[in-house]
Amino acid sequence: MSRKAVVAGLSFSAALGFLCASGQPPPAAGTAQQRDARMKWWREARFGMFVHWGLYSGLAGTWEGKPAGARGGMEWIQQRVKADTETYAKRAIPLFRPAPGFAREWARLAKQAGCRYVVVTSKHHEGFALHDSKAGDYDAGSVLRRDLLKEIVEALRAEGLRVGFYHSVIDWHHDQYEYARSQQLPHPMKGRPYPEGRRDHAKYVEYLHAQVNELVSHYGPVDILWWDYSSQDFQGQEAWRAFDLMAKVRARQPRIVMNNRLFRIPEAGFTGMGTAAIAPRLDPRYGDFITPEQHIPETGMPGVDWETCMTMNTTWGYSEHDHQWKSEETLIRNLIDIASKGGNYLLNIGPKGDGSVPPESVRAMQAIGAWMKVNGESIYATGACPLGKLEWGRCTGKRLAGGGTRLYLHVFDWPQDGRLALPVAAGSRAKARLMAGGKPLAVTSSGGRTSIAVGGQAPDRIASVVELDLDNPLQR
């Protein structure tokens, strides 16, 4: 453990002192109005790009010439092969060779896809940091003499994208991280004695706080901190001094949005350890949004901000063996389904060791972008569908000036008879049009049901959008 790490850590802690001596959750950061103001851009954004990129990307799911697995997270390859950090680093570092300009390719792709924000792994579980850190020596600055995170942030801002850092609190490199304190969190050395004989987790937590301080102090305005992840048996203030960490981050970045993964309790939106173990609740003292992973909740969660994160194949980090790509139809309909339930979609790419993006991911993001170019207004700044379940597709909505409602009807299954049925009375002055091209459509309403004459031909094979303006708030 280098001396500079302790010094860096202490200066950050001293700046704000010890905030939660009792370990009790501090009061929520700000009023509900202040939180709504902070969250406004995030709630309107609806669509972000996740990027998993680290030393594992150069290994590409291969270890000693063989696939380390056919599916699932290859960013976990160190744990899958049970490699100690020295062995892992020796094999992985020579394969991690970011090409000049890699970050501009990511930023252009995210923009082209219609993403409003990008969340990049500043450090994943392997412990290798992408920034030039003074708190340790397992980082891009120390190893590659580059600040890769600076290159990424500059490229994202050049495209007008919001910047998010995914930061792993789990660390498979640090020699003070006490992996034996959790039976549920993964570690390549789990079950084996500490190589050093004993460890002092408090020193790891100082290092964690020091590196996070670097991230929120030296890279300009940071829009999102995406923590990852805690367990029921090791979480929060005990594991990470979580309340202090959040308070320090908010002190440096008052407008930042943070997720719920410094904790793993029901009040923070978790019912257990599985990625689907989500509770539709969140006390703002534990974060700003909850994080369903690799699945879309059945229904929306009124009053709870949520974001589904998802891979395009089955792995977050790049694997040359994983060809189980989701179709463009699935990805576009996922985005629509999530928006119709009032959530955000954080869709992942896993660039290779040189930073290049797998062509399958490029094609998928470009297809989403082509759909969003025509129909993005039906996703951005919309709210959950007020109509309940619809057999033919989904819907999103927004309030119109003057008190009316605009519904965006996303038709997956185009009606054979050319008439789109809605289980609601649209009112006599309702107006409808096709989003693609703007062709006006006839609307008839009777007995609490509405029919829109959409014609025989669907404008889009994946999802066609019909815009329906109602003079007043929806009559159910």
> Which residues bind to ligand FHN, rule: CB under 6 A?
73, 75-76, 228-229, 275, 293, 309, 316
Contact 249, 216 (CB under 8 A): yes
| Nearer CB in complex with ligand FHN: 73/459 | 73
Q: Enumerate long-range contacts of 332-336, CB under 8 Å, 24 or more apart.
A: 332/367, 332/368, 332/371, 332/462, 332/463, 333/412, 333/462, 333/463, 334/296, 334/308, 334/310, 335/46, 335/47, 335/368, 335/379, 336/378, 336/379, 336/393, 336/394, 336/396, 336/410, 336/463
Residues 6+ apart with CB under 8 A from 462: 328, 329, 332, 333, 371, 412
For residue 470, list its beta bridge partners: 405
> Least distance to ligand FHN from the beta carbon of 75, Å?
5
> Least distance to ligand FHN from the beta carbon of 359, Å?
22
> Least distance to ligand FHN from the beta carbon of 275, Å?
6
Determine the Cα–Cα distance for residues 456 and 83; give it in Å rounded to an integer: 59
| Nearer CB in complex with ligand FHN: 296/407 | 296
Cβ atoms < 10 Å from Cβ of 448: 11
| Nearer CB in complex with ligand FHN: 259/375 | 259
Torsion of CA 132, 236, 229, 121, to 10 degrees: -20
> Least distance to ligand FHN from the beta carbon of 165, Å?
13
| Nearer CB in complex with ligand FHN: 316/408 | 316
| Nearer CB in complex with ligand FHN: 306/371 | 306
| Nearer CB in complex with ligand FHN: 51/155 | 51
> Least distance to ligand FHN from the beta carbon of 461, Å?
31
Determine the Cα–Cα distance for residues 341 and 133; give it in Å rounded to an integer: 40
Determine the Cα–Cα distance for residues 221 and 163; give it in Å rounded to an integer: 8
Q: Which tokens belong to 178?
A: 């006490």
> Least distance to ligand FHN from the beta carbon of 458, Å?
34
Contact 397, 407 (CB under 8 A): yes
> Least distance to ligand FHN from the beta carbon of 81, Å?
15
Contact 325, 311 (CB under 8 A): no
> Least distance to ligand FHN from the beta carbon of 370, Å?
27
| Nearer CB in complex with ligand FHN: 138/229 | 229
| Nearer CB in complex with ligand FHN: 278/452 | 278
| Nearer CB in complex with ligand FHN: 171/206 | 171
> Least distance to ligand FHN from the beta carbon of 168, Å?
7
| Nearer CB in complex with ligand FHN: 316/318 | 316
> Least distance to ligand FHN from the beta carbon of 383, Å?
25
Distance of CA 64 to the CA centre of its chain: 32
| Nearer CB in complex with ligand FHN: 345/408 | 345
> Least distance to ligand FHN from the beta carbon of 350, Å?
10
Cβ atoms < 10 Å from Cβ of 226: 25
